[in-house]
Structure 1
């Protein structure tokens, strides 16, 4: 397996694998892009120590936990940024919100929050970690203005990070 990391402006022509074919996976964020053979290599670029995890059942469990911890950190940070941005725009005033709304927004994502059937706040999306909800757990997934980070697999982890705009993921598995 191999990956190539590019920093700064991308070249006109992207590097290819030794056999001349394009890399099947590319992950881009800020001024960095990683071209890789596997999603594991991409995930290892985002999570320190991930590449060193053993390829065993125990290693798989450690990998899931590493993705979960990272998902919680991302959800916490993004939730704060979204709330602060809405406050700066004048569309969200914490002093006028209910305790339930503030608790949902500002509770650490590693802690359980009360079940919410639907998140209707249009100004501040709720950022949640998918493995805390069905089908992975017993809590019902809230509907509405919710952004999800899903650490269950490398595929769901990377795709949901792309879906919420943290990274850009390009897949070419043809």
Structure 2
């Protein structure tokens, strides 16, 4: 079992470390000033989420890992939505007091709870302020149709989609060794 290692690149840029056998790590994840090297995306996510690597394999472990990813993604979606709202409010593009209750509910509801169903706006979000939602709150995971329009999705379906979402939102940078 390989171990992910972390390095701090704030002081000096150094060559990427190698595994004990001298080969390159297949994955590197830049998180702030730290770089995490690992053999798998699962190991990378395990370094981002305390206890994630402890889930057993098999159906029960897969379910627990999925729920942990959803929980993490919900927090990230809430943070991203708050950042967007703060920016557009500060610039004067958005004034909460001028918005309807359904718009405010969609923008401010907790993520990962299935509360933003899209029913109140016919599953189409055309508001200038983008919604940040979890893909797992919609079909095929739930019975709610996916909301279209000005929506950005975080996808915690698996480690690959979660890391891609984190990268899309600027939280991490993922590097994959070309040799794998």
- Could you say whether these structures have the same fold, taking a TM-score greater than 0.5 normalized by the shorter chain as the test? yes
Aligned-partner Cα distance in 2 for 1:146–1:20:
44
CA distance in structure 2 between the partners assigned to 1:140 and 1:14 by the alignment = 44
Deviation at 1:173, TM superposition (A): 5.2
**In the superposition, relative to structure 1, how do residues 111 and 134 fare at CA in structure 2: closer, same or farther (>3 Å)?**
closer
Equivalent position of 1:136 in the other structure: 141
Q: Which whole-Å CA distance do the structure 1 matches of 2:44 and 2:178 have between them?
A: 15
Confirm or deny that 1:19 pairs with 2:25.
Answer: no
Any stretches of 5+ residues in structure 1 without a counterpart?
none
Is the deviation greater in 110-119 or in 90-99?
A: 110-119
Q: Does 1:171 align with 2:176?
A: yes
Q: Secondary structure at the match of 1:148?
A: strand
Once the two structures are superposed, the pairs formed by residues 56-95 of structure 1 within 5 Å of their partners are 56-95=58-97
CA gap of 1:64–1:114, structure 2 versus 1, over 3 A, is closer
Note the C-alpha offset of 1:172: 2.4
Question: CA shift at 1:136, angstroms?
Answer: 2.4
Whether the aligned pair in 1 keeps the contact of 2:4 and 2:47 (CA below 8 Å) is no
- Over aligned residues, Cα RMSD in angstroms? 1.7
Q: Are 2:117 and 1:114 aligned?
A: yes
Rounded to whole Å, the distance in 1 between the matches of 2:140 and 2:96 is 32
* C-alpha deviation, 1:90, in angstroms: 1.6
Counterpart of 1:48 (choices 47, 50, 54) is 50
Corresponding residue of 1:36: 38
Q: Report how far residue 120 of structure 1 moved.
A: 2.0
Alpha-carbon shift at residue 56 of structure 1 (Å): 2.7
CA contact (8 A) 1:148 1:164 kept: no
In structure 2, the partner of 1:4 is 5
Q: Normalized against structure 2, the TM-score is what?
A: 0.88
Q: What is the TM-score when the length of structure 1 is the normalising length?
A: 0.90
Quick one: structure 1 residues 53 and 173, their matched pair in 2 at CA, closer, same or farther if it must change by over 3 Å?
Answer: farther
Q: What's the offset of the Cα at 1:131? A: 0.7
User: How many residues of Structure 1 are paired with residues of Structure 2 in the alignment?
Assistant: 173
1:119–1:145 CA contact under 8 A, matched in 2: yes
Alpha-carbon distance in 2 for matches of 1:168, 1:22: 18
